[in-house]
Amino acid sequence: MTDQAKGHLLGRRSLKIASFALAAVLVSSVFQPASASSTATGNIQVEHYFSGDLGKKAFDQIFPACEKSTGVTIKAPTIAHEAFKDAILVQLAGGNPPDMFSYWAGAKTQSLIDAGQIGSIDDVWASAGLDKVIPKSISASASTYGGKKFLIPFDYHYVGMFYNPAVMAKVGIKTMPTTWPQLLAVAYKLKAKGIAPFALGSKNRWPAQFWFDYILLRTAGPAYRAKLMAGQASYSDPQVVAAFAQWKTLFTKGFFNTSPNGIDWTDAADQVSSGKAAMTLMGTWVTGYWDGKGLKAGTNYNFFPFPKIKAGVAQAALGPVDGWVMSSKAQNAPGAKAMLECLAGASAQKIMALTQGALAPNTTTDLSAQNSVMRAAAKQVAGSAAFVFNYDLATPPAASDIGLDALVHFINTPADAVKILAKAQTDISATFKK
Average pLDDT over residues 164-168: 98
Per-residue confidence (pLDDT) for residue 386, from 0 to 100: 85
Cα Rg of the chain (Å, integer): 21
In a domain? residue 95: yes
Per-residue confidence (pLDDT) for residue 103, from 0 to 100: 97
Please tell me the distance from the alpha carbon of residue 232 to that of residue 245, in angstroms, as a whole number: 22
Q: Is the pLDDT of residue 428 over 60?
A: yes
Number of domains within the chain: 2
Least confident of 97-106, 163-172, 381-390: 381-390
Q: Are residues 14 and 150 in the same domain?
A: yes
Q: Are residues 295 and 330 in the same domain?
A: no
- DSSP-derived secondary structure for 234-249: -TTSHHHHHHHHHHHH
The alpha carbon of 124 is separated from its chain's Cα centroid by a whole number of angstroms, namely 24
Task: Categorize the per-residue pLDDT at 88 as very low, low, confident or very high, splitting at 50, 70 and 90.
Answer: very high
Per-residue confidence (pLDDT) for residue 241, from 0 to 100: 98
Q: Are residues 331 and 287 in the same domain?
A: no
Q: Are residues 236 and 344 in the same domain?
A: no
Task: Categorize the per-residue pLDDT at 40 as very low, low, confident or very high, splitting at 50, 70 and 90.
Answer: low
Pick from 318, 339, 372: which residue ends a domain? 318
Per-residue confidence (pLDDT) for residue 11, from 0 to 100: 37
In a domain? residue 78: yes
Q: Is the pLDDT of residue 159 over 70?
A: yes
Per-residue confidence (pLDDT) for residue 28, from 0 to 100: 36
Domain holding 211, by residue range, is: 159-318
Task: Categorize the per-residue pLDDT at 29 as very low, low, confident or very high, splitting at 50, 70 and 90.
Answer: very low
Q: What are phi and psi of 214, to 5 degrees?
A: -70, -40
Q: Are residues 226 and 326 in the same domain?
A: no
Per-residue confidence (pLDDT) for residue 385, from 0 to 100: 85
Per-residue confidence (pLDDT) for residue 32, from 0 to 100: 52
In a domain? residue 375: no
Outline where DSSP puts E strands in 48-198. 73-75, 100-104, 144-145, 148-149, 152-156, 159-163, 196-198
Q: Is the pLDDT of residue 34 over 80?
A: no
Q: Is the pLDDT of residue 255 over 80?
A: yes
More confident residue, 39 or 15: 39
Average pLDDT over residues 396-411: 97
Q: Are residues 249 and 282 in the same domain?
A: yes
In a domain? residue 1: no
Q: Is the pLDDT of residue 316 over 80?
A: yes
CB burial string 388-407: b at 16+ within 10 A, e below = bbbbbbbbbbbbbebbbebb
Q: What is the mean pLDDT of the chain?
A: 90
Q: Are residues 144 and 182 in the same domain?
A: no
In a domain? residue 57: yes
Q: Are residues 194 and 275 in the same domain?
A: yes
More confident residue, 26 or 212: 212
For 325-384, write each residue's pLDDT tens digit.
Answer: 999 999 999 999 999 999 999 999 999 999 888 999 999 999 999 999 999 998 898 888
Per-residue confidence (pLDDT) for residue 30, from 0 to 100: 47
Q: Is the pLDDT of residue 22 over 60?
A: no
CATH code assigned at 285: 3.40.190.10
Helices (H), 200-257: 209-219, 222-229, 238-252
User: Count of CB atoms within 10 A of residue 48's CB?
Assistant: 24
User: C-alpha distances in angstroms, 140 versus 137, 216, 376?
Assistant: 5, 22, 23
Record the pTM: 0.85
In a domain? residue 255: yes
For 279-303, write each residue's pLDDT tens digit.
Answer: 999 999 999 889 989 999 999 999 9
How large is the angle between the packed helices 107-114 and 397-412, nearest 10 degrees? Answer: 150
In a domain? residue 259: yes
In a domain? residue 383: no
Task: Categorize the per-residue pLDDT at 14 as very low, low, confident or very high, splitting at 50, 70 and 90.
Answer: very low
Q: Are residues 255 and 344 in the same domain?
A: no
